[in-house]
Structure 1
Amino acid sequence: MCDLHQIAEKEHPITTPSSFAEALRRHRHSARMTLEQLAEASGVSDRTLSDMERGRSRGPQHRTVTALADALGLADADRKQLVELARVGRLRDHWNRQTGLCELPRSVDDFTGRAAELAWTNELVHAGNAPGVAGVGLITGSAGLGKTTLTVRAAHALRPDFPNGVFFLDLFGMSPQPLPVDEALGMLLRALGIADQQIPGDVTGRVSLYRSLLRERRVLVVLDNAASEEQVRPLLPGGGAGKALVTSRRLLAGLEGVRRLSLGPLPLLEATELLTEILKDRGASDEGSAVWQLAQLCGGLPLALRIAGNRLVSRPGWNAADLAVRLTNEEHRLDQLSAGDLKIATAFGLSYEQLADSTQRVFRRLSLVPGRNFDAALAAVVAGSASAEGAWDALDELVDLGLLQDNMSGRYRFHDLVRLFARDRLHAEESEADREAVTVTVTSWLLRMATTAGRWFEPAYSPSDRPDIGLADLSSPEKADHWLRANVDNWLGALRHVASIGRFAAVLDCTESMHWFSDRWMQAPHWHEVFTLGAEAAAALGDPARQAAQLNLLAWVHLVPREDLETTLRYAAQAIDLATRSGATAQIALAHHNAGGALRRLGRLEEAIAAETQAAEMFKASGDIDRYGQCLGALGTCLRDAGHHTEALEQYLDLSALLNDDRSGMTPSVAAFTRPIALARVGECLGLLGHRAEAIIKLTEAIGLMEQAQLPVPQAHSLETLAALLAEEGRTGESRHAYARAAEVYEAIDDAEASTRCRDLANAAP
């Protein structure tokens, strides 16, 4: 028998069979046995064997397969393959018996939402035929999004438009053995009424017959769970009356002549409605907020919502709040999203198993990224690639299977539940040492990137000082600014992690580098945490001077973005104490400057003037012209608030002269940053002194400079001041426009109260 196998292999090179019928026929020919001989050796009738080899019986019982394997003398690998193909065939036969000849499955009664998507399918069917492949819709998306449920719902709704039939075929795209094209065509042709003896034996003939039937018949074919373009192309209509809807977890980017619909999670409101509909017969009346929370925890994924709802329906003693508590624990959320044979992890696992080993590793390790999204450069760090381009193949494969989502800006993100699945796979398949090594690599790189980007905005920074950290472009202030904003969740997460493991020097280097950048993005909510971590790191390192610097930054956070003035004074006092003990004169002066700002806003103007004067003298004596200029501006503001408008104007004009003097010693970048603010203050004082026309000119110029320098907070205040002056001048249309623009900028910096105030003034009647 072995010799016969070897001879047969030489004559017929081995390829992987796609069905039980093909495998059985091949092994029988290799064994040089007739049907009658195999029937006698195995005890299986020759008629039954004939049905198996012709594909009519695709999944015989295990004991029958074992008898055939014994009779054929199959080795372990061939025996295992034959058993597996029979199992897959039984699965297909099972579903075919349930649904008949490509019969459309039932639509769920509690289907909710997806109105836009259903309208899309309706428009697809009723639109005129386009050249090429006509009336073909491709619906793609990750596991659990309800692609099949949506498509079946649409197909039922469209039945009246297809009097010649609506047919459904599962292509088994996620199984180890997707449905072969010839079998799929045979099943569809039988469903269309073609007798077995009239079905051509070759794929080309079947495609031709199939398309000729669809050209003349009003038929809708639903091709569910497609594996590839090659599998789908022969099953599409070639034009005419027939239409097709295709679903796939893959993007099938090579498929031409189709209209595409990318399915996303349900919006929270629709997700809550679906869950409520599933639970409607429970009779619970006090679960509104808990149901809403459950919908959030399920991330709008219909399969997850279905599982959560089914668990509650099947357990009347449970309530939604209890299940929500269970799901809140991320460590066990996937385990809880399991009901009978519905398991969210199993759905994701089918996609995961389609990945190459190297891509599986990247997928698992991407769960260690601290933030909610990332770019190819960070993915390359995770993957251990030398360039961002090296990570693209893996990212493309993950996006193609719906395991990652991408956007136009080149960033990628997990669905929350997919991220948990990736993390579970990481813990199951990689050692703790490997996980820790990747974490160290990722967080170290992120911190180096953030520190390097932040240094761009220091007055004395030189691009030649920039270290070469590779993978991401930080070659200009604009690119550094963009990276810091786009990756804030990631570098902030890295900062937290590095602080938690006691790498205080790295933490302090990073937080110090954010000093000047924080002025550009002062409305960001995270500065309190950043500089608190910096102060704690400095304290742990026993460096009171650097600790005082971080406390001064915390004083600034509570002075400008937060306006918590008493807290500003507290941090300033702590900074003065530490700086005095360590002889850090610059930090003493800065603490007085911060205290002066808080005292001014508290109305304690004499104390504020004294603090700002002291700070100005100390900065000037030490030669710190940059901060000396800031103190001059602050003194002008104190005088303005005290009603001394002429003196305030003189102070601001002195500051402007300093800013415009190339020999003053002020750092050019600081001068460029401060100039529009000083110009706006000059405009404000002119307005207060009644010189409105001149004030409007100054403010308009300042606002333009602020927009160029990306200074939204002072820009919003200046726009509001300008709008009021324009109204006083009777320039109503310009005033409304300025108020409307101020409202937009306030909204962008999350100042809802000011935005509403300005919008109301913009819309006020004349």
Structure 2
Amino acid sequence: MERGRSRGPRHRTVTALADALALTEAARDQLVELARDGRLRDHWTRPTGLCELPRSVDDFTGRVAELAWTKDLVYADHAPGAAGVGLITGPAGLGKTTFAVRAAHVLRPDFADGVLFLDLFGMSPQPLAVDEALLLLLRALGVADQQIPGDIPGRASLYRSLLRDRRVLVVLDNAASEEQVRSLLPGGGEGRALVTSRRLLAGLEGVRRLSLSPLPLAEATELLAGILGERSASDGEPGLTRLAHLCGGLPLALRIAGNRLASRPGWNAADFAARLTNEERRLDQLRAGDLTIAKAFGMSYEQLAGLTRRVFRRLALVPGRDFDAALAAVAGGTPIEDAWDALDELVDLGLLQDSTSGRYRFHDLVRLFARDRLREEEPAAERDAINETVTSWLLRTATTAGRWFEPAYGRSDRPDAGLSSLEEADAWLRANADNWLGALRHAASVGRHSAVLDCADSMDWFSDRWMHAPHWHEVFALGAEAAAALGDPARQAAQLNLLAWVHLVPRDDPETTLRYTAQAMDLATRSGATAQIASAHHNEGGALRRLGRLDEAVSSESRAAESFRASGDVDSYSQCLGALGTCLRDAGRHTEALAQYLDVLALLDDDHSGMTPSIAAFTRPIALARVGECLGSLGHRTEAIVKLTEAISLMEQVRLPVPQARALETMAALLADEGRTGESRHAHARAAEVYEALGDAEASSRCRDLANAAP
């Protein structure tokens, strides 16, 4: 009563007082009856103070769509007996509680019978027991202790009956499990509930789910400005934006950063952001009083099983941005079945993010926490051994995947490494590019030259399929350095030829290409590497063509073609034939160029030519597109459009976006010349999409303008 929690004392307190006062029987009965009346009088209107909703922060920012979701939950029509329950999940630091409290305050006018808040202590070693939770909620709903059943089913039934006809919103914060929550949910009627949890609580049925994400950069910056108030103007938007970026959009990290700045007038956002750029100290800097980002992550970490903890902290050694279960198994030193279980547990607790493609990734701050746990819990020698294991596996798998595209390998002698097809090898190399490239860098830094060179060498033919990827210069530069360190001039020449290709095709820098081909030619000549001499001539021909020196280009390509044919390298020979055709096309000799491209197609169609099927599949659509271009230039537009349509379809199948975009542009122009305006616009729109995916904004904008041009 002194605490304002009740207008009437408990029965056992009254009887104890009566005994102490030695009341007569009549006086004792009267006191007990009056006390009972006090307990039961106006129990719905009395301010119990139990389960009171916490205050909402004034600087709450963003989450507009999410707040609208809670509004829909309140007003949505429900089937008879269905409960209006919203489950809000997400990792530590995303502000689930803050959001739920804000939503409850916004919704409060819609709940005439009250809003209740109960912390279920889900991350505690001892979460709130179900019977105790029901006891607290029933008391908050005004039920006297004597009327509260002693068993969980009885309490749950009474609780649901009270919520059925009363407009009450219950916020159940920090839920530990489905079992803890089920008995606390309304059973239908007027009552509603919002549940927050770091766990996904996938077993809960009949609930609407909302997964919170980090704040977008603009809203994160706005939150920082709101925390800082008037002084945010002196910090400047660039400094605040940089700080928001380093906090990764996590509201808790932003709150800590904002509070630290607000409590230290001598600091500014730019200086604090500079401190956070040091990854080794970032988590330590995100600490303000009793708020620490590491403590929030640590509470989730403590919930994990031992094997899952090991997988979690060792995944910090993965060099790329994301990974799959196979790599997680290698890093964790566990069978892949156990890796799947560990990954599921980590996703369930919000320590990892997953995707529909079967890949997982850390939030940047969670990765730093995992790295700290690894440093604290595993000795340096063990960390080095794990790193070596991960690096070796990535390099070995990447090298094997790259070999799938080499003409030298037949169907029967492919080393599998878990890859059973060309398509699987292609998909693995693309999805894991950050990982195997990171492993390549690490291996180069510790002098593992043979492994680096083998990996770079294996990417020769695959790089043609993914020519727009940004990392080829680094891959082949590391390969050339490794070959030089090993004293192998022939293989160094091969890597220099690949660098020449990088500057010829993706980078369009023919002058630099010629410098690399000269170096490659010198090394290849001195070492007698005839294949690399031919490759140097081929790359030289391409560069000379780009520079408009067409006669010299034809000479270089002819020498390369003759050399490859003499050595029996029909795959490279076909590339030179196509390049010769392009030289003739650029010279305006379209009839001769067309004949050259048709020769290439004839070679591709010859079952006895000896061409590697994967190389043929790569070469055919490009040759068809060139045929289409020549036919168009010669005035045979209808035939040209047919060839280009076939080429574009094949390019999409074998994932050749750069030539596909160019072929679409060519076809769009021919369709326009034929008066087929709608089809022309459609082709330009498709070209714009492909260019956009490649990151070529200028080309994308050009094609989009043509697609939207007035008739």
TM-score (norm 2): 0.92
How many percent of aligned residue pairs carry the same amino acid? 81
- Cα distance in 2, alignment partners of residues 260 and 670 from structure 1: 48
Match of 1:642 among 572, 587, 601: 587
Q: CA deviation at 1:430?
A: 0.6
Q: Which residue of 2 aligns with 1:467?
A: 415
Match of 1:235 among 184, 207, 210: 184
* Residue 441, structure 1, aligned to residue 441, structure 2: no
Q: CA RMSD in A?
A: 1.6
Match of 1:701 among 621, 642, 646: 646
Q: CA deviation at 1:201?
A: 2.2
* Residue 185, structure 1, aligned to residue 134, structure 2: yes
Q: CA deviation at 1:331?
A: 0.5
* Residue 404, structure 1, aligned to residue 364, structure 2: no
Relative to structure 1, the CA distance from residue 487 to residue 283 in structure 2 (aligned partners, 3 Å threshold; closer, same or farther) is closer
**SS across alignment from 1:113:** coil
**SS across alignment from 1:284:** helix
Relative to structure 1, the CA distance from residue 651 to residue 346 in structure 2 (aligned partners, 3 Å threshold; closer, same or farther) is same
- Cα distance in 2, alignment partners of residues 149 and 653 from structure 1: 68
- Cα distance in 2, alignment partners of residues 319 and 669 from structure 1: 58
Match of 2:367 among 419, 428, 439: 419
Q: CA deviation at 1:567?
A: 1.2
Match of 1:573 among 518, 531, 555: 518
**SS across alignment from 1:331:** coil
Relative to structure 1, the CA distance from residue 185 to residue 666 in structure 2 (aligned partners, 3 Å threshold; closer, same or farther) is closer
**SS across alignment from 1:448:** helix
The amino acid across from 2:150 in the alignment is G
| 8 Å contact from structure 2 (residues 400, 416) kept in 1 | no
- Cα distance in 2, alignment partners of residues 99 and 627 from structure 1: 85
- Cα distance in 1, alignment partners of residues 634 and 416 from structure 2: 53
**SS across alignment from 1:278:** helix
Relative to structure 1, the CA distance from residue 601 to residue 148 in structure 2 (aligned partners, 3 Å threshold; closer, same or farther) is same
Q: Deviations over 1:622-680 (max 9, x none)?
A: 22222222112111111111122222222222222222223333333322321221222
Match of 1:222 among 171, 180, 183: 171
**SS across alignment from 2:515:** helix
Q: CA deviation at 1:374?
A: 0.8
Q: Which residue of 2 aligns with 1:374?
A: 323
Q: CA deviation at 1:133?
A: 4.4
Q: Which residue of 2 aligns with 1:207?
A: 156
Q: Which residue of 1 aligns with 2:73?
A: 124
> Which stretch of structure 1 is more off in the superposition, 701-710 or 516-525?
701-710
| 8 Å contact from structure 1 (residues 99, 105) kept in 2 | no
- Cα distance in 1, alignment partners of residues 88 and 350 from structure 2: 12
Match of 2:527 among 565, 579, 582: 582
- Cα distance in 1, alignment partners of residues 425 and 366 from structure 2: 30
Q: CA deviation at 1:131?
A: 4.6
**SS across alignment from 2:121:** coil
- Cα distance in 2, alignment partners of residues 664 and 452 from structure 1: 26
The amino acid across from 1:525 in the alignment is P
- Cα distance in 1, alignment partners of residues 179 and 589 from structure 2: 81
- Cα distance in 2, alignment partners of residues 214 and 718 from structure 1: 66
Q: Deviations over 1:526-564 (max 9, x none)?
A: 111111111111111110000100111111111111111
Q: CA deviation at 1:487?
A: 1.0
- Cα distance in 1, alignment partners of residues 444 and 557 from structure 2: 35
Q: CA deviation at 1:620?
A: 2.1
Q: Which residue of 2 aligns with 1:357?
A: 306
Q: CA deviation at 1:283?
A: 5.1
Q: CA deviation at 1:99?
A: 11
- Cα distance in 1, alignment partners of residues 233 and 317 from structure 2: 40
- Cα distance in 2, alignment partners of residues 622 and 483 from structure 1: 32
Q: Which residue of 2 aligns with 1:497?
A: 442
| 8 Å contact from structure 2 (residues 89, 210) kept in 1 | yes
- Cα distance in 2, alignment partners of residues 410 and 131 from structure 1: 38
Q: Which residue of 2 aligns with 1:759?
A: 704
Match of 2:237 among 282, 288, 291: 288
| 8 Å contact from structure 2 (residues 86, 207) kept in 1 | yes
Q: Deviations over 1:265-291 (max 9, x none)?
A: 111111111111112221533521111
TM-score (norm 1): 0.85
**SS across alignment from 2:172:** strand
Q: Which residue of 2 aligns with 1:272?
A: 221
- Cα distance in 2, alignment partners of residues 519 and 234 from structure 1: 60
- Cα distance in 1, alignment partners of residues 48 and 588 from structure 2: 85
Q: CA deviation at 1:210?
A: 1.2
Q: Deviations over 1:559-602 (max 9, x none)?
A: 11111111111111110011111111110111111011111111
- Cα distance in 2, alignment partners of residues 463 and 99 from structure 1: 78
| 8 Å contact from structure 1 (residues 133, 236) kept in 2 | no
The amino acid across from 2:286 in the alignment is L
**SS across alignment from 2:419:** coil
**SS across alignment from 1:330:** coil
* Residue 104, structure 1, aligned to residue 53, structure 2: yes
| 8 Å contact from structure 2 (residues 465, 618) kept in 1 | no
**SS across alignment from 2:281:** helix
Match of 1:150 among 99, 109, 113: 99
- Identify unmatched segments of 5+ residues in structure 2: 6-46
Q: CA deviation at 1:463?
A: 4.1
Match of 1:606 among 541, 545, 551: 551
Q: CA deviation at 1:352?
A: 0.7
Q: Deviations over 1:500-528 (max 9, x none)?
A: 11111111111111111111111111111
